[in-house]
Amino acid sequence: MAVIHLPSILAREAGGRREFPTQAATLEEALRTLPIADLIFDRDGGLRTLVNVYVDGRDARADLASPLAVDAEVRVVAAVAGG
């Protein structure tokens, strides 16, 4: 089963959970099942600018529609900005 890993900053918003097993067919489907999907995706349905997604260590930001392997490790990385 694929697993999505969240950084601490997003895990707090997801009830403290840092890992979410998934059987989703695609990366986008897996991300949309997360309780923090509204923090990952913008109003238009695209990834927010400061969110990066890696599948098995490779940048997958441009490949959300790609099939998700059963044993994939997905990492969501959220940059923090402000001033």
pTM for this structure? 0.91
The CA angle 43-58-69, to the nearest 5 degrees, is 85
Q: How many CB atoms lie within 10 A of CB 37?
A: 11
Specify the pLDDT at position 24.
Answer: 97
Specify the pLDDT at position 27.
Answer: 97
Q: How confident is the model at residue 79 (pLDDT cuts 50, 70, 90)?
A: confident
For the chain, domain boundaries: 2-78
**Per-residue pLDDT for 83 more than 70?**
no
* CATH class of the domain whose range is 2-78: alpha beta
pLDDT tens-digit map of 21-66: 999 999 999 999 999 999 999 999 999 999 999 999 999 999 999 9
Reading phi first (left if > 0) and then psi (alpha if -120 to 50, else beta), residue 15 is in: left
